[in-house]
């Protein structure tokens, strides 16, 4: 049985192992980020083409000029280029006396775009509104509209377009006819349908983003999106609302800010950096196809490409060392990573399949490190393999995890440094990680981080340039000697890449999906949230058998019934079964000492139960009491 993506590849007569076929598959994958180009009209105007001319006809009169614009976007990193045919339908061309050139213009536009895109990029046949009103508000019938769209799309398909992008539609009735026409031309050809909304988040006909998403979902388009009219901030809000009502892949192509009149000229003021920051926000909100509309230039697209590169790990195709580079169309400059066993003692045990032990110690609140150093020395003496160092857990203000880890490693025991995306932008994270590597830190646990509202400073700003998946991809690249922009950094870093996972997540399907993405991004081991129900952990381990990496189970020795209730009700991601809560309450009724002994007994039982299923344990030290953690080991 063929998949949808295989049908699309077959419909486009592409070899299944070709770069275009791989990119077409990514275009349809709901979780893969794909970058479109920016404005065509903006660039043609900047090159001296007056607005009283027919821009669509330039593919016949000045094909080199159009090709140069496409090539500039390809060089900037766009993976899909749109044909210069936004207004190339019969009704709009009639305004210039060119209605007899519909086929010639659209065919040639697709060919010119292909000449610039080559075989490593896709060509999207751009189709805009007809410029006339449909019944019952105008003279054009729905059948007539569908015929006009079909005429244009047939020419785009015959010219070599890989997909259709229906864009800047305000009338959903008209957009429906364009969708129907696309399916009539080629039922297997991907269709990206994009409406346009104003600053009040409605189309000119009053449809909300939710209305747009629901109706396009019902019509069965491949990608649902928004473009033009407004800047990235408004588009972001609309995408957030659309993501709540559809599971379809979403696209966003905002203008470079709202247009402003400057000296009689319409200008778009959003900088490339601003567009890049919103591209990241759009991806985090759910949009996976990103590009630009009016005012967007190759400089904007280049900044967006560099900004979002770490956000979406691509599936690695293990067919030769350069296969991934071939798919992306870029030369492979990466180096082979240092073998896991040679990066750290912790990594060596993981690579050898040996059981690892670790204890979690929260960094100090101030600058006094006497207790931290005493505990590190004691754990090293006890033979524990590593100390886990959280990074601002629960959005608390504490000493940084990197500095804390360096202090710990003075005492002959390795640290597992948790590193969160919450507090730093992409540049800051890159700087931190390069510095940590140079200072000798090797073991990382990459996490997204708790939101500031959880902590004592709820007005603090969270950055979240990337999440844990993107950060994993970033560190994997560093281990191959490459920065986020695919530039060599010299000697590769030697990090052991760990990620978090929650076996008892509220949405297990989503957690499982994210775990798969983390493994694809380069995760080499995982540490779970505290496990109080070993059966749930065992069930989770069974569900990841196809992407199994070493799993270290989190164990938390409870110290009281109150401690158990706090974890159950106030710590995100932690589940304490009712049976455990009841055991702690009964023990607490006897005495505090009984409750502590019961909590440690529960932790030992969990350790004994999971020992044969996992490759290690991380035992927490509640309230900084490492003696409780050591008692769990027995």
d(CA 294, CA 259): 9
3-state secondary structure at position 565: helix
Both structure tokens of 353:
């399949």
CB 395 within 8 A of CB 457: yes
The 10 Å CB-count burial string (b at 16+, else e) for 286-309 is bbbbbbbbbbbbbbbbbbbbbbbb
Q: At 337, phi and psi to the nearest 5?
A: -70, 155
d(CA 221, CA 530): 42
**Which residues lie below 8 Å from residue 507, measured CB to CB, with a gap of 6+?**
none
Question: Within 10 A of 118 (CB to CB), how many other CB atoms are there?
Answer: 13
CB 112 within 8 A of CB 67: yes
DSSP β-ladder status, 356-360 and 386-389:
parallel
- Residue indicated by tokens 């210069």: 84
DSSP-assigned beta bridge partners for residue 181: none
**Which residues lie below 8 Å from residue 596, measured CB to CB, with a gap of 6+?**
559, 560, 628
Residue ranges of the binding site: 228, 293-294
d(CA 488, CA 408): 31
- pLDDT, residue 594, reads 95
CB 102 within 8 A of CB 151: yes
Mean pLDDT for back-to-back runs of 10 residues, the chain (634 residues):
56 71 92 94 89 92 96 96 97 96 98 96 97 85 96 98 97 96 96 95 93 96 94 92 95 83 58 88 92 94 84 39 38 81 97 96 94 97 96 82 97 96 86 96 92 65 76 93 86 97 86 90 94 90 89 95 85 83 95 94 94 95 93 90
- pLDDT, residue 229, reads 82
User: Which tens digits make up the pLDDT trace of 237-253?
Assistant: 999 999 999 999 999 99
DSSP-assigned beta bridge partners for residue 497: 444
d(CA 163, CA 12): 9
Domain with CATH 3.20.20.330 in the chain: 19-328
Name the burial class of residue 207, with classes exposed (0-12), middle (13-18) and buried (19+) by CB atoms within 10 angstroms of its CB: buried
Domain range 19-328, CATH architecture:
Alpha-Beta Barrel (3.20)
DSSP β-ladder status, 259-262 and 265-268:
antiparallel
- pLDDT, residue 260, reads 60
Residue ranges of the binding site for Zn(2+): 228, 293-294
Cα three-residue angle 588-590-592, rounded to 5 degrees: 50
Evaluate if pTM is beyond 0.75. no
Alpha carbon 435 to chain centroid distance? 25
- pLDDT, residue 449, reads 82
Fold of 354-501: TIM Barrel (3.20.20)
Name the burial class of residue 265, with classes exposed (0-12), middle (13-18) and buried (19+) by CB atoms within 10 angstroms of its CB: exposed
- pLDDT, residue 262, reads 47
- pLDDT, residue 300, reads 94
- pLDDT, residue 325, reads 41
Q: At 58, phi and psi to the nearest 5?
A: -60, -25
The 10 Å CB-count burial string (b at 16+, else e) for 149-158 is bbbbbbbbbe
Both structure tokens of 64:
């080199």
Q: 3-state DSSP helix/strand/coil percent for the chain, to nearest 5?
A: 45, 15, 40
- pLDDT, residue 314, reads 42
- pLDDT, residue 66, reads 97
Q: At 310, phi and psi to the nearest 5?
A: -75, -5
- pLDDT, residue 324, reads 39
The per-residue pLDDT of the chain, averaged, comes to 89
Domain with CATH 3.20.20.220 in the chain: 354-501
């Amino acid at each position: 049985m063929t998949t949808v993506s295989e049908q699309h590849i077959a419909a486009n007569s592409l070899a299944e192992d070709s770069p275009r076929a791989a990119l077409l598959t990514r275009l349809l994958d709901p979780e893969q980020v794909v970058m479109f180009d920016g404005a065509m009209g903006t660039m043609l105007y900047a090159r001296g083409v007056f607005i009283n001319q027919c821009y669509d006809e330039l593919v016949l009169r000045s094909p080199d000029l159009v090709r140069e614009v496409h090539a500039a976007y390809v060089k900037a990193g766009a993976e899909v280029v749109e044909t210069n045919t936004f207004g190339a339908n019969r009704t709009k061309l009639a305004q210039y006396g060119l209605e007899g050139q519909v086929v010639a213009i659209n065919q040639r536009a697709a060919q010119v775009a292909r000449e610039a895109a080559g075989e490593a990029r896709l060509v999207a046949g751009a189709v805009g509104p007809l410029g006339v009103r449909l019944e019952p508000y105008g003279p054009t019938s729905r059948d007539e509209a569908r015929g006009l769209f079909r005429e244009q799309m047939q020419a785009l398909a015959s010219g070599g377009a890989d997909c259709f992008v229906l864009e800047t539609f305000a009338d959903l009735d008209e957009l429906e006819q364009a969708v129907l026409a696309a399916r009539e031309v080629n039922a297997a050809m991907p269709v990206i349908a994009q409406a346009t909304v104003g600053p009040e988040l409605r189309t000119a006909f009053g449809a909300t983003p939710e209305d747009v998403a629901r109706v396009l979902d019902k019509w069965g388009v491949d990608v649902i999106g928004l473009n033009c009219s407004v800047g990235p901030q408004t588009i972001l809000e609309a995408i957030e609302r659309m993501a709540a009502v559809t599971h379809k892949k979403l696209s966003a192509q905002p203008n470079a800010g709202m247009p402003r009149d400057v000296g009689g000229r319409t200008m778009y003021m959003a900088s490339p950096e601003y567009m890049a920051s919103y591209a990241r926000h759009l991806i985090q909100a759910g949009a996976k196809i990103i590009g630009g509309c009016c005012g967007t230039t190759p400089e904007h697209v280049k900044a967006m490409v560099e900004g979002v590169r770490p956000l979406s790990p691509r599936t690695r195709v293990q067919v030769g060392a350069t296969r991934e580079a071939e798919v992306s169309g870029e030369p492979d400059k990466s180096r082979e990573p240092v073998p896991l066993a040679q990066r750290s003692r912790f990594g060596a045990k993981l690579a050898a399949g040996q059981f690892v032990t670790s204890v979690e110690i929260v960094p100090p609140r101030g600058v006094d490190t006497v207790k931290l150093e005493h505990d590190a020395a004691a754990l090293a003496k006890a033979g524990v393999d590593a100390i886990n160092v959280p990074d601002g857990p629960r959005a608390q203000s504490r000493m940084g995890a990197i500095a804390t880890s360096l202090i710990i490693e003075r005492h002959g025991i390795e640290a597992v440094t948790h590193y969160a995306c919450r507090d730093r932008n992409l540049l800051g994270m890159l700087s931190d990680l390069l510095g940590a590597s140079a200072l000798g830190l090797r073991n990382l646990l990459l996490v997204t981080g708790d939101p500031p509202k959880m902590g004592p400073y709820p007005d603090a700003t969270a950055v979240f340039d990337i999440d844990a998946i993107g950060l994993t991809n970033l560190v994997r690249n560093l281990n191959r000697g490459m920065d986020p922009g695919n530039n060599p950094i010299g000697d590769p870093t030697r990090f052991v890449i760990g990620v978090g996972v929650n076996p008892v997540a509220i949405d297990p399907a989503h957690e499982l999906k994210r775990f798969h993405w983390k493994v694809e991004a380069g995760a080499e081991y995982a540490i779970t949230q505290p496990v109080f129900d070993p059966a749930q952990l065992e069930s989770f381990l069974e569900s990841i058998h196809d992407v199994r990496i070493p799993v270290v189970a989190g164990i938390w020795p409870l110290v009281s019934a109150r401690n158990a209730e706090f974890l159950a009700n106030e710590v995100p991601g932690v589940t304490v079964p009712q049976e455990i809560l009841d055991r702690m309450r009964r023990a607490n009724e006897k005495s505090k000492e009984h409750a502590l002994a019961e909590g440690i007994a529960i932790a030992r039982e969990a350790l004994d139960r999971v020992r044969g299923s996992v490759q290690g344990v991380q035992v927490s030290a509640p309230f900084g009491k490492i003696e409780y953690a050591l008692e769990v080991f027995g």
